[in-house]
Amino acid sequence: MNKLTGYLGTYASPESLGIYRFSLDLKDGSLSRPELYYNAPDCKYLSLDGTMLAAPEKRGGLAGVCLLDISAKEPVLIGEAFHETAPACYVTQDCGHLYTANYHEGSVLVYDRSPEGIKLAKRIHIAPKAGCHQILLYDHYMLVPCLLLDSVKIYDCDRDYSLVGELTFPRGTGPRHGIFDPFHHRLFLVSELSNQVFLYQAGETDPREVYPILPQGAVYRDPPASAAVRLSPDGRFLYVSTRFADLITVYSIDGSGLHQIQQAGCGGVHPRDIILTPDGRYLLSVNRTRGGLVCFGLDPESGRILGLCSRVPAPEAVSVVLA
């Protein structure tokens, strides 16, 4: 396979109207210009499970979520539901469910997912303005980073999503996004406000280590805000994007923890999301404010970011997935 198809989620603006589709040439890292694929405002986060693409959306003053089948040339709407006052900031899927996290409402919605569509199954109220920013599924647990509560709530999916635990952080930490290693032995959690990586052993509530993302004493015009966290396909390297510092930080991973090996520019301004290709040879950075969608070469052996391969316009793009 010489090309991958990618999809971009965007904030609503006159220049960004929904979900965009592009291609990535794996021979040289060149990107095609994104084209509008699905017209719906505020499809700002994307989740791809096989051929099922899910995204928040807003229509006629209503906010909700849509599920698309992308197996054909044009998207097929499988279902949509509107149960929120503002679009969710995160969506994810598993074999039978679809989940959304709503930053403003402070809630998580669980939908039953089937070939016939989606149906609301559970609404979990956490707290007004909790800043719910992600949903991590692990075994029969659901972890929800709550940025404005400085906590990660832990729910048991097998017990009707009962709250069974919590990871707590110092005030002003702002836990945002996390990722498990391929074996689900370790969790790497990134904080938006304190710009740190917290390393947890699975099943433990206290971090094994806490790693700074930015250089000590560095001064920025606006407070930096770390955003996306991704693992290399082989699980040997961790990548973190930081807005307002406009950096991508690279860590190597071994038995002792993380070791920062590189900080590189994101190729633009406001890197809201990043993603690696399955072969570990390219990294895409989605720069919301300026710079658009950027492709960098990667050295799969060292994990280091190499030169810029390609750049295309992508106004207000804030999420990316590859098919």
| Amino acid identity, position 51 | T
| Amino acid identity, position 193 | L
Residue 254: other Cβ atoms inside 10 A: 8
Does 203 have pLDDT greater than 90?
no
What number is the average pLDDT over the span 55-70?
Answer: 95
pLDDT the model gives residue 217: 85
What number is the average pLDDT over the span 290-299?
Answer: 98
Of 222, 239, 241, 223, the closest CA to residue 287 belongs to 241
CA atoms within 13 A on the CB side of 129: 1
Contacts of 82 (CB under 8 A, 6+ apart): 59, 62, 63, 64
Q: Are 245 and 287 in contact (CB under 8 A)?
A: no
Q: Say how far apart CA 137 and CA 43 lie, in whole Å.
A: 22
pLDDT the model gives residue 279: 96
What number is the average pLDDT over the span 77-86?
Answer: 96
pLDDT the model gives residue 286: 98
Residue 203: burial class (beta carbons within 10 Å; 0-12, 13-18, 19+): exposed
Q: Are 138 and 149 in contact (CB under 8 A)?
A: no
pLDDT in tens, 224-253: 999 999 999 999 999 999 999 999 999 999
Q: Are 241 and 248 in contact (CB under 8 A)?
A: yes
pLDDT the model gives residue 95: 85
* pLDDT tier, 60 (very low <50, low <70, confident <90, very high otherwise): confident
pLDDT the model gives residue 1: 73
What number is the average pLDDT over the span 138-155?
Answer: 98
Helix/strand/coil (H, E, C) string of 207-246? CCEEEECCCCCCCCCCCCEEEEEEECCCCCEEEEEEECCC
What number is the average pLDDT over the span 61-80?
Answer: 96
Going across the sheet that includes 136-138, the strands are 136-138, 141-146, 151-156, 162-168
Instruction: For the chain, give the mean pLDDT.
Output: 97
Q: What share of the chain has pLDDT > 90, as a percent?
A: 95
